[in-house]
Amino acid sequence: MHKMQKAYGKERRQEAPPWLDSFLEMQAAERGSSANTLAAYKRDLLDLETFLHDKRKGIAPRDASLDDLRAWLDALAKKQMTAATRARKRSAARRYYAFLAEEGLREDNPTDLLLAGRVSRPLPKALSEEETQRLFAAVYAAEGEGAVRLAAILELLYATGLRISELTRLSVSAVAGAVSDEAASDSAERMILVRGKGGRDRLVPLGDKARQATRRWLELRRALLGDLADDNPWLFPSGRDPQEPMTRQRVFQLLRALAPVAGVELSKVSPHALRHAFATHLLAGGADLRVVQELLGHAAISTTQIYTKVTDKRMQEALRQHHPLADEGAIDEQAIGGKALGGKALGEKATGEKAVGTKAVGAKAVKPTGTRISEEDL
C-alpha cells in the first residue's frame, strides 16, 4: 500500500497543473513554440515543482523565491547535469516567471537576479565528405522499396539541411513544385516550402540528385498507397499508420542501420549529423555564412557560426598534416581559419566554384545546391 501511495504521489506531481497549462498555452499561441519546445518546458518546470515539493517544504512554483531557485540550480549542478541542460532549465524558469509577472500573478520576477552562466557549446560531429559519399554509395547499392525511400530521405537531409522534425512533416504539396517537370528547366521552381521552428516558413532549393530521388519515391509511394495516395498529405507516411508521418525515431533507426553497411562510424550517423554536414561542407566550399543561416532556418547568425569553428578546426588539421613548417611549430593557430585564410580559402581551391549563390532565400532565389559537394553539383 505504501508503494502504491508513493507511486500515486509521484504521478500526481507529474501531471500538468493549471498554472503550467496556462503558461504553455501562451507560449504556443503568442510565441509559436513547437511541440518539442513545449514538452521541454513542461519537463523542466515539473522538475522544479518536484524539487520545491521535496526539498523546500512544498512551496508552489508560483511562490518560489530567488533563494529557492538558486537551491534548485545548485541541486542540478550536484547531479552533474551538463551546462547546456542546466541552462535550458534556467531558461524555462525565466520564461515562466516572466509570464507570471506579465500576467500580474506575482509582483516580481525572481529570475532577474539569477546569473545566466556560460554554456560551452560542443562542436558538432560532422561527417566528412568522403564518409557522406560512402553513405550514398551504400543506399544506392541496396535494393527494394525501403532503399528507394531511404535514398530520398538521405538526399533531402543532405541537400537541404532540414531538421529531422521538418523532414518528417514535409507534405507532398511542399515538394511537388520542386520535382515537377517545369522545375527541370527553371531553377526558380526548384524550391521546397519548409515549416521551421516557431512556425516560420522558408524556401529551400533542391538539387538535381535530391529531385530525382524524391521523384522516384513519390512514384513508389503512389503505387504503395494506391487509392489513398491523393488523400494522404505526408511525403513520408508512417508504415504502421499511413495517416501519420514517419516518426523521427524511425528515420534515426534507418540511418543507423545504413552506417555499418557504408563503413561509417555508427556514432557519426544521424539526421542531425547530416544537417551538420550540409552546413560545414557548404562553408568549406565557400558559401556565405548568411546564406547558410537562411538555408538552415536559424533565427540568429550566432547559431550558424558554430559551424565555422568546425571548418576552422579541419583547416588547422590540414595545415598540420601538409604544411612544410608544421613540425617546427611555425603555424599560429589564431591565424588559421576565418582570420588569415578566411572561410572560403580552401573551399574554392577544392571545388573550383562557390557553393551557393549570394542571393537571399525567401522572396529571392538562391542558386540550388547539389546533393554532393563537388564541382559538378555546386
Catalytic site residue from 163, 211, 281, 372: 163
Task: Kindly tell me the number of DSSP H helices and DSSP E strands found in the chain.
Answer: 16, 2
163 is catalytic: yes
Query: How many CA atoms does the CB half-sphere of 326 hold within 13 Å?
Result: 11
Catalytic site residue from 95, 134, 275, 354: 275
The grid coordinates of residue 79 equal 547531479
307 is catalytic: yes
Calculate helix-pair angle for 271-284, 248-262, nearest 10 degrees: 70
Beta bridge partners of 202: 194
Distance CA 360, CA 45 (A): 39
Catalytic site residue from 298, 344, 354, 372: 298
Q: DSSP class of residue 187?
A: G
> DSSP characters for 80-140?
T--HHHHHHHHHHHHHHHHHHHHTTSSS--GGGGS----PPPPPP-PPPHHHHHHHHHHHH
Alpha carbon distance, N-terminus to C-terminus of the chain: 68
Q: DSSP class of residue 237?
A: B
Backbone angles phi, psi at 173, to 5 degrees: -65, -30
Contact 61, 96 (CB under 8 A): yes
Q: Tell me the one-letter amino acid at 312.
A: D
275 is catalytic: yes
Host H or E run for residue 376: none
Catalytic site residue from 96, 276, 307, 372: 307
Catalytic site residue from 10, 31, 272, 364: 272
3-state secondary structure of 343: coil
Contact 86, 117 (CB under 8 A): yes
2 is catalytic: no
Cα four-point dihedral sign 245, 250, 252, 257: negative
212: CB partners within 8 A, 6+ apart = none
Catalytic site residue from 125, 197, 215, 367: 197
31 is catalytic: no
Q: Which residues are catalytic?
A: 163, 197, 272, 275, 298, 307
